[in-house]
């Protein structure tokens, strides 16, 4: 599982930028960094991640497959749909290539705003999220549970023109937003603020393929104070209500537009199983 841009682990809202990094308590974004092979994690994160690995051995494959899917989705939107503005809520610890590097590799003028509430992401953002000279990037310390605050941030409005199409990226985020936080309403409020021709890019863990492993994984996160809720295909599809899913629709990420697979993704889409990945992913257009 990954965690990016959700409310603080106590559920009391986003932490301010000067919040200590809480090295003694695992954080889902740092655990995701570990699953991706990163180094921006602490002993508590690695211990929790090791417990997850005993229950869901495919979790590292899932994280990397999901990351590779995100790259393909952004490549598709930039190259085939002409999108030049991207709002990535739940950025997580930057791992190259980052979203703006994929988009600006196709269209250097692309503009990207990253949003997260983890102080360690803030610590890395200014050095690792550098824009191509023709484009723009910005970082907003914000929380998915406060969509209007994100959308009104001066750092966002200086970079993105919300009267023009935007790709909203909610990748590996919403399984950290339980139902009693109103996740469907939160997504709808974000989508409602976007211009026609915008897109929603979303992936989500599911119990559909390996219910025992994924359910036990959620319990590990819960036991460490990290909120989480996995959802079935129908429940994930509900996030796209009112939008037009692009082909191939809601799909496991390793079978979504594999013609766009990157040579350096380190994930061979044909070598992973649905049980290992246990994600649904999709891209949909707002009319």
Looking at residue 134, its pLDDT comes to 86
Helix axes 211-223, 43-55, angle to 10 degrees: 160
Q: Which of 284, 95, 113 is nearest to 201 (CA)?
A: 284
pLDDT, position 6: 47
Q: Count other C-beta atoms under 10 Å from residue 209's C-beta.
A: 17
In Å, the largest CA–CA distance within the chain is: 48
Alpha helices in the chain (DSSP H): 28-35, 43-55, 59-80, 99-106, 119-128, 147-152, 154-157, 183-192, 211-223, 233-237, 274-277
Please give the pLDDT value at position 82: 98
74-114 tens-digit pLDDT: 999 999 999 999 999 998 877 778 899 999 999 999 999 99
C-alpha span between 156 and 162 (Å, rounded): 9
Which residue in this structure is represented by tokens 């953002």? 125
- Confidence at residue 22, expressed as pLDDT on a 0 to 100 scale: 57
Domain topology for 28-257+273-286: Rossmann fold (3.40.50)
Domain boundaries, the chain: 28-257+273-286
Residues 6+ apart with CB under 8 A from 118: 3, 4, 5, 15, 27, 29, 30, 92, 93
Within the chain, which residues score under 50 in pLDDT? 1-20, 263-268
Would you state the pLDDT for residue 4?
Answer: 44
């Amino acid at each position: 599982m990954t965690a990016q841009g959700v409310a603080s682990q106590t559920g009391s809202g986003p932490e301010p930028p000067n919040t200590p990094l809480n090295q003694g308590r695992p954080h889902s974004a740092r655990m995701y960094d570990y699953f991706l092979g990163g180094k921006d994690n602490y002993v508590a994160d690695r211990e929790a991640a090791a417990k997850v690995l005993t229950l869901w051995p495919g979790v590292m494959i899932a994280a990397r497959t999901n990351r590779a899917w995100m790259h393909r989705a952004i490549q598709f939107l930039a190259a085939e749909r002409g999108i030049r503005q991207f709002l990535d809520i739940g950025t997580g610890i930057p791992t190259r290539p980052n979203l703006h590097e994929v988009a600006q590799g196709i269209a250097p003028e692309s503009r990207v705003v990253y949003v997260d509430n983890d102080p360690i992401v803030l610590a890395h953002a200014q050095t690792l999220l550098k824009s191509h000279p023709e484009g723009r990037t910005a970082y907003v310390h914000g929380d998915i549970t406060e969509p209007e605050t994100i959308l009104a941030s001066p750092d966002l409005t200086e970079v993105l023109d919300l009267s023009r199409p935007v790709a909203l990226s909610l990748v590996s985020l919403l399984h950290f937003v339980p139902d009693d936080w109103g996740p469907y309403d939160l997504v709808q409020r974000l989508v409602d603020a976007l211009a026609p021709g915008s897109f929603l890019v979303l992936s989500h863990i599911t119990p559909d393929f390996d219910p025992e492993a994924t359910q036990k994984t959620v319990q590990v996160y819960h036991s460490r104070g990290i909120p989480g809720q996995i959802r079935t295909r129908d429940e994930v599809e509900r996030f796209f209500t009112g939008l037009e899913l692009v082909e191939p629709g809601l799909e496991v990420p390793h079978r979504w537009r594999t013609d766009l697979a990157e040579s350096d993704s380190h994930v061979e889409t044909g070598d992973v199983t649905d049980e290992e990945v246990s994600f649904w992913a999709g891209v949909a257009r707002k009319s």
